[in-house]
A and B are shown apart, each in its own frame.
Chain A
Amino acid sequence: MHIMEGFLPHPWWEIWFAIAIPIVVYGIYRLSKVTKKIPEAKPLLALMGAFIFVLSALKLPSVTGSSSHPTGAGLAAVVVGPGITSVLSMIVLVFQALLLAHGGLTTLGANTFSMGIVGPFVAYAIWIASKKAHLPASVGIFLAAALGDLFTYVTTSVQLALVFPTAAGFFDAFLKFGTVFAITQIPLSIGEGILAVILFDFLAKYKGQLLSTMKVIKLPIATAAQEERKQ
């Protein structure tokens, strides 16, 4: 669930645009670079965009008695990188703001920051760390996708608490918004993590060579040779 249209007053909405725009521009640069260098990655970009599209459309019930939707951005960050994911996320957010009155145009900067930047960069960092720690890929993907999702909504809570602190201050407001957004999100992010593991497992099996070219995974030499024969 994103920040609603008109709910960020001046100067906050401008601030979040100012932070988000440079990173989205970097994402567009990465997008043109990757599609030029590795043209066969294009279907993968479409696939990641589609994954974000589906998950963002699913409003799911949570144990808090309210509902919210996952983002799908964590898996995309691992596969195509967090920069490109910020572009994909913004496209989905524009679609939802214009056609569904979900999120908003004035809050697009803030929502792109939480869903397209913080979530993906957290996911990417966790993926890199899990590779360094030699964790199994499925564990790394699960943690990356689930925590990327969760941190998106922790960010949303911070963004709202900064603008609307209660009488008891920022932290009290953060707890309030955090209960609404982040706690609701916990089971959803676990679900998103599992779905990401399934799709990634498929990709590793069928597109291992391409993922290796994109430096997402390192193929063991035997598997690489096997893949080579299949190509």
Chain B
Amino acid sequence: MNSKHYLILIIIVIAIFALPLILFPSAEYGGADSAAEDIISDQGYKPWFSPLWEPPSGEIETLLFALQAAIGAMIIGYFVGYEKGKRAKKEIKEA
């Protein structure tokens, strides 16, 4: 695969996740876990333990999720860049 193939695959991925938003613009897109919570609560169940700490607001929660993604993406980007750079340097030496 070359970078053109990568690009096509990434466009397909974006399309997969854009499609629901285009097809069903008025859906709520709540978490699947809260949907399950509703089914269980309908049976009269009360959770016996609650999280030790909860993000104080939706904004702070978004911050932490963004941080999680950023840390992961940083490591992947570092790895990919490092390997590509190493290979390029070797090819210059060999030439």
A and B from one complex: yes
> Residues of A at under 8 Å CB distance from B?
1-7, 9, 43, 46-47, 49-68, 95-102, 104-106, 138, 160, 164, 166, 176-177, 180-181, 184-185, 187, 190-191, 194-195, 197-199, 201-202, 206-207, 230
How far apart are B19's CB and chain A's nearest CB, in angstroms? Answer: 7
In the bound complex, do residue B16 and residue A191 qualify as a contact, i.e. CB atoms below 8 Å apart? yes
CA distance A185 to B12 in the complex (A): 17
A-B contact pairs, 27 of them (CB 8 A): A1-B33, A1-B36, A5-B49, A5-B50, A5-B51, A6-B47, A6-B50, A47-B76, A50-B76, A52-B72, A54-B69, A54-B72, A57-B65, A58-B69, A63-B19, A63-B23, A66-B28, A67-B29, A68-B32, A98-B52, A99-B55, A180-B36, A180-B39, A191-B13, A194-B13, A202-B80, A230-B90
In the bound complex, do residue A177 and residue B39 qualify as a contact, i.e. CB atoms below 8 Å apart? yes
Residue in contact with A50 in the complex, picked from B10, B21, B28, B75, CB distance below 8 Å? B75
How far apart are A214's CB and chain B's nearest CB, in angstroms? Answer: 16
Does any Cβ of A come within 8 Å of B83's Cβ? yes
In the bound complex, do residue B72 and residue A164 qualify as a contact, i.e. CB atoms below 8 Å apart? no
* Residues of the B chain whose Cβ atoms lie less than 8 Å from the Cβ of A2: 33
Does any Cβ of A come within 8 Å of B59's Cβ? no
CA distance A64 to B21 in the complex (A): 11
How far apart are B69's CB and chain A's nearest CB, in angstroms? Answer: 4
Q: How many of chain B's residues have a CB under 8 angstroms from any CB in A?
A: 54
A2-B33, A46-B79 known; A97+B51 contact, CB < 8 A: yes
For chain B residues 53-83, which have a beta carbon within 8 Å of chain A?
Answer: 53-55, 61, 64-66, 68-69, 71-76, 79-80, 83
> Residues of B at under 8 Å CB distance from A?
1, 6, 9-10, 12-13, 16-17, 19-21, 23-24, 27-33, 35-37, 39-40, 43, 45, 47-55, 61, 64-66, 68-69, 71-76, 79-80, 83-84, 87, 90
In the bound complex, do residue A6 and residue B20 qualify as a contact, i.e. CB atoms below 8 Å apart? no
In the bound complex, do residue A65 and residue B20 qualify as a contact, i.e. CB atoms below 8 Å apart? yes
* Residues of the A chain whose Cβ atoms lie less than 8 Å from the Cβ of B76: 47, 50-51, 54, 199
In the bound complex, do residue B40 and residue A50 qualify as a contact, i.e. CB atoms below 8 Å apart? no
In the bound complex, do residue B49 and residue A66 qualify as a contact, i.e. CB atoms below 8 Å apart? no
* Residues of the A chain whose Cβ atoms lie less than 8 Å from the Cβ of B36: 1, 3-4, 160, 177, 180-181
How far apart are A61's CB and chain B's nearest CB, in angstroms? Answer: 5
How far apart are A52's CB and chain B's nearest CB, in angstroms? Answer: 8
In the bound complex, do residue A164 and residue B24 qualify as a contact, i.e. CB atoms below 8 Å apart? no
In the bound complex, do residue A4 and residue B33 qualify as a contact, i.e. CB atoms below 8 Å apart? yes
